[in-house]
A = this chain, B = another copy of it.
Amino acid sequence: MKDPVAVFSDYVAQKGLKMTPQRRLILDVFLRERGHMASEELYNKVKAVNKAVGQATVYRTLKLLSGSGLAKEFDFGDGVSRYEQTYGHSHHDHLICERCGKNVEVVDQGIEVIQERVAREHGFSLTGHVMHLYGVCADCSRSA
Cβ of A138 to closest chain B Cβ, rounded Å? 3
Distance (whole angstroms) from the CB of A59 to the closest CB of chain B: 14
Whether B131 lies near A119 (C-beta < 8 A) is no
Q: How far is the CA of A46 from the CA of B126 in the complex (A)?
A: 36
Which residues of A (41-62) have their CB < 8 Å from a CB of B? none
Interface magnitude class on chain A: 35 or more
**What chain B residues lie within 8 Å of A119 (beta carbons)?**
95, 133, 135
A135 in contact with B131 given A95-B119, A122-B106 (CB within 8 Å):
no
User: Is B111 touching A97 in the complex (CB atoms < 8 A)?
Assistant: no
Min C-beta distance of A109 to chain B, whole Å: 10
B124 and A129 contact, CB distance less than 8 A: no
Residues of A93-107 contacting chain B, CB below 8 A: 95, 97-98, 104, 106
With A114-B114, A124-B138, A130-B130 given, can you name 9 additional A-B contacts, CB distance below 8 Å? Answer: A106-B122, A111-B118, A118-B133, A122-B138, A123-B137, A124-B135, A125-B141, A128-B133, A130-B131
**Chain A interface residues (CB < 8 Å from chain B):** 73, 75, 77, 79, 95, 97-98, 104, 106, 108, 110-111, 114-115, 117-119, 122-138, 141
